[in-house]
Structure 1
């Protein structure tokens, strides 16, 4: 090939690359435009939702469970189920102060702040609405609250002194800094699956027992040492690569689910869990480390008290094998240490 031909060929390659780059650029622009269009359509769809206020007629149809009122001097219906009615306005509920059990799921609600007037409320279910925040004032008796499948970006208004179970799955939560630990002394179960959390830091809840964080984008385990009562940690489907962050402050932790994460090395990572005296069950399936030879045995060598791995009980044969390998490694390590000492003396 002549120099001229080579130059022409190189020029054609540059042109092709430039054209390809232009096409990629066009695709990126097109993708951005489609994304914006999707957002605009979503906004338009929200705007098209017709206003529909809750009425006394609706309420009369849906009330149930006749009980004595708090002062014991009268009776009132305390349960209201108004799910799946396309409601956008529930302000009328301000006057129904005796309600204790309320289901508002599958409506088009954007604001439920009026519920702050229902000071006798025990359970509140507001799943599948259009809430971006709750903005509830402190509710003295609320024990169970569920705000799954909304558009919440903050946990503001979710801290109540008697609350025991809080569920905010499938929202847009990226931080938990709006939780107020001082008001959540009784909270034992917190569900935040399917949000946008990137870390476990910020959960300063010493009485919490069950924490569900599956399907977030968590890359770092940290800040858990403040959760001394935690027994269950569920983190399936995140992006955790290392098991740093587990400390001896987690004295009660018994179950860890890290399925579908990115843990690479059993020998390097699993021993970091030796600080957990009550750990009895763990799930690591669908991590890269599970492809290693003798994966189950290596986990057991590091965690002798573990009873179940990936939902399979350890058998006595596995325990015997793990003990033998651990003993052999110990002897080899001792022999190496003696040899090193002898060499130093010489």
Structure 2
């Protein structure tokens, strides 16, 4: 039943279409101009270069249509010839549009190159700062043998560790060690690491639970993301006090040290952390690893290094553990930072 009305209306629609067909491209060009203008107002300044040549397209369409009843109108308006051949406004508009496109491509290339140079300089500055905050060698630790390896997956890493001997070695031979991992990658994670290391160096208390609580309050609401962290206080007589905030548990002589669970830092301000106490015998080795060791992935079967392999090699030196994790992932890009910290009570 609807076919008869449609057949009756079709001739009229057909005539309307052909009446406005000369201006069909004008609508599309105006729509594209609005989109370019919106992009320009949002900060893409290169799009502004295309507005002028783009507006020449509807103008050239109007001039070409005016050339019908007025054959000399186009030539009088434009007045351009190449070797005696007149150039229509459409050709000129097309040349302007192509020139604008080339200008946009060139300007975007220059801007992207400049932004990449700035980003590279910022990453290099962050890497330099991080090297100062996380030195390659540990400070003197009387009564303990400390070894560390830090292999960031990128120019700057999100892992961190810090060794803090007692302020007065003559009165106290204790050792505070902190190791952790910041969520995210790149420059943002490196800035959070700098905040954490700075906060650790200003710590007054050496109790692991209080250290984590203070760091948690400092990070919550001030940085994006979160951080896992493990803190341990070792005394010269072997007494060890450990608190954990979501970091992989350490290993002692090849066995995992049971730790009480705790939420990562930076999630909620009023979190408290429980402490685990144990005795580290003379000659025993504590091994701390980041998740970059556990999550090292082999190529091409994509098998994880895993906790069993990590526990099996935890009696090795820090350099050997890191080397085995890297060798396991040969052929695949290093997905995460690898940090290993070992402490032997002498």
Normalising by structure 2, we get a TM-score of: 0.26
Q: Which structure is richer in relative contact order (CA contacts within 8 A, separation 6 or more)? A: 2
Of Structure 1 and Structure 2, the greater strand share is in 2
Normalising by structure 1, we get a TM-score of: 0.26
The structure with more radius of gyration: 2
